């Protein structure tokens, strides 16, 4: 989600598309735009651009790789000076992942997060579909998995373990 779209110039829109097309370093099937972490692109003066990025989790180490990837892409496009700033507010939510992003996650073998409104853990009783065989008969192995944003589950039909992008 790119906010502040009302005031964007055609150049800013173009740079937003470029920055948003950068793949996530951990989940390369997703772009930063689909992940919903790009908050804004502002041309400060000729050749100077500021990009606002929000972390999925406060301690997510991928944010540094995202920043340097954005800087590289925009520099290659001729922007002389790129600064990426991290913004925390409003807090990122898994609801910010686009419909296309969710589809790609499932295709990649990661169960996408369920839509939510409030905060905090979603009751595990809501069905989470196995991204391999499609069964809704799955169980939680651990609330924490290979990265901060995922939980580890197992499908009781096909017996395969899989990651679930947990709701935040």
Partner 1 sequence: MTSTVNAAALALGDDALVLSHRLGEWAGHAPVLEEEVALANIALDLLGQARVLLSMVGDEDELAYLREERAFRNVQLVEQPNGDFAHTIARQLYFSTYQRLLYGRLAATGDGDFAGLAAKAVKEVAYHQDHAEQWTLRLGDGTAESHERMRRACAALWRFTGELFQPVEGLDVDWRELEADWLASVTAVLERATITVPDGPRTGAWSAGAGRQGLHTESFGRMLAEMQHLHRSHPGATW
> 99: part of which helix (H) or strand (E)?
helix 99-107
Q: Which of 4, 90, 109, 134 is close enough to bind partner 1 by CB under 8 A?
A: 90
How is residue 134 written in tokens? Answer: 């499609």
Q: Which of 3, 21, 58, 136 is close enough to bind partner 1 by CB under 8 A?
A: 58
Shortest CB 84 distance to partner 1, Å: 16
The nearer residue to partner 1, 9 or 146, going by C-beta atoms, is 146
CB 93 within 8 A of CB 72: no
Q: What are the two backbone dihedrals, phi and then psi, of residue 88, each rounded to the nearest 5 degrees?
A: -100, -25
| 115 is an interface residue for partner 1 by CB under 8 A | no
β pairing state of 110-111 and 81-86: unpaired
| 117 is an interface residue for partner 1 by CB under 8 A | no
Shortest CB 164 distance to partner 1, Å: 13
Q: Which of 5, 44, 57, 109 is close enough to bind partner 1 by CB under 8 A?
A: 57
Burial status of residue 82 (CB atoms within 10 A of its CB: 0-12, 13-18, 19 or more): buried
| 159 is an interface residue for partner 1 by CB under 8 A | no
CB 151 within 8 A of CB 132: no
For the window 133-152, what string marks contact with partner 1 as x by the rule CB under 8 A?
Answer: --------xxxxxxxx---x
CB 12 within 8 A of CB 43: yes
Q: For partner 1, how many residues bind (rule: CB under 8 A)? A: 26
Interface residues with partner 1 (CB under 8 A) are 55, 57-61, 88-93, 119-121, 141-148, 152, 166, 168
């Amino acid at each position: 989600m790119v906010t502040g779209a009302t005031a964007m110039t055609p150049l800013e829109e173009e740079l937003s598309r470029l920055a948003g097309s950068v793949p996530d370093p951990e989940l390369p099937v997703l772009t930063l735009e689909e992940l919903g972490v790009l908050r804004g692109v502002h041309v400060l003066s000729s050749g100077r651009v500021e990009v606002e990025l929000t972390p999925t989790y406060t301690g997510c180490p991928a944010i540094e790789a995202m920043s340097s990837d954005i800087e590289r892409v925009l520099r290659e496009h001729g922007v002389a000076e790129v600064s990426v700033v991290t913004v925390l507010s409003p807090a990122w939510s898994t609801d910010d992942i686009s419909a296309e992003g969710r589809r790609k996650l499932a295709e990649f073998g990661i169960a996408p997060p369920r839509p939510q409104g409030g905060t905090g853990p979603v009751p595990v009783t809501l069905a989470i579909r196995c991204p391999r065989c499609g069964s809704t008969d799955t169980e939680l192995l651990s609330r924490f998995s290979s990265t901060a944003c995922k939980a580890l589950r197992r499908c009781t039909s096909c017996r395969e373990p899989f990651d679930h992008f947990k709701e935040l």
